[in-house]
Amino acid sequence: MIQLAVFLLVSLSATPLGNRAFHKYVVVWNIGQGQWVTATEENHCQHFDLGGEKFPWKNLKRLCSDKENRFSLSHWDWDHIGALAKWPSSWKACINLRPLGKSSPRKMKILAQFQDCSSEKNFKEWSPQNAKETNSRSHVVRYEDYLLPGDSPVAEERFWQNIYWITSARVLVLGHHGSRTSTSTELLTRLPKLKMAIASARWARYKHPHAEVMWRLKKAHVPLLRTEDWGNIWFGF
């Protein structure tokens, strides 16, 4: 489980990559507006979405190019899957969790290039039933102490916010990049162990996280970290 006392906040990747005291990392990448979170294991890298306005290829080469890369994709939006279109062909990769439903022929063709992983998933997941809108079809995932709800909106949060493995999460990557349509006050009250929230967004252009969400977090006494301010956010343990 995460030890919050040892998390690293850095913009320059050389320091954490060279620190041999840590055996595993969870990294929330500074990719502008989008989501890409990478968890490193001994023999593989688990990626929770792979999207954004820029991609951390140099860091990923050092972390993951010699490992199996496993993708967990919350939904079909480009800011969550866009990097797959440029994935290096020499890096071993497979999909652990595919988006629900169908999308454009181009997106479906990109995902069709990757086979499903044969290994068991090492994270918990919740998937919506009968949701029609793209964001509402987001898978909700918990890896270790990290909760990643994709772009799941408030209406869907009510279906999953009371699940036992969700209520004990300690780090929340804000739904829909901090949009007011996610991260309700009701959800925050269901997360009593929450220690921090992370916004993977670009306020300067998209105004995420919204002021309403920042106010909700402040009222719940949950500190907010923004990749726009800190750069790549590394957790070592």
Residues 92-150: tens digit of each pLDDT: 999 999 999 999 999 999 999 999 999 889 999 999 998 889 999 999 999 999 999 99
pLDDT at 3: 45
pLDDT at 16: 58
Q: What mean pLDDT is reported for the chain? A: 90
What tokens appear for 104 in the block? 């454009």
Is 17 a domain residue? Answer: no
Is 4 a domain residue? Answer: no
**Taking 60 as the threshold, does the pLDDT of residue 15 lie above it?**
no
Is 1 a domain residue? Answer: no
pLDDT at 202: 79
pLDDT at 114: 98
φ/ψ of 187, rounded to 5, equals -60, -45
pLDDT at 197: 96
**Taking 60 as the threshold, does the pLDDT of residue 193 lie above it?**
yes
Lowest mean pLDDT among 18-27, 48-57, 66-75, 220-229: 18-27
Is 18 a domain residue? Answer: no
Residues 110-126: tens digit of each pLDDT: 999 999 999 889 999 99
**Mean pLDDT, rounded, for 186-210:** 89
Residues 216-228: tens digit of each pLDDT: 999 999 999 999 9
Separation between Cα atoms, residue 130 and residue 128, nearest integer Å: 7
The domain that contains 46 carries what CATH number?
Answer: 3.60.15.10
Separation between Cα atoms, residue 185 and residue 199, nearest integer Å: 16
**Mean pLDDT, rounded, for 208-219:** 94
Is 117 a domain residue? Answer: yes
Q: Residue 53 sits in which domain range?
A: 23-236
pTM of full prediction above 0.75: yes
Is 6 a domain residue? Answer: no
Tally of structural domains, the chain? 1
Contacts of 103 (CB under 8 A, 6+ apart): 76
pLDDT at 206: 66
**Taking 80 as the threshold, does the pLDDT of residue 22 lie above it?**
no
Is 7 a domain residue? Answer: no
**Contact assessment for residue 174 and residue 182, using Cβ atoms and an 8 Å cutoff:** yes
Is 8 a domain residue? Answer: no
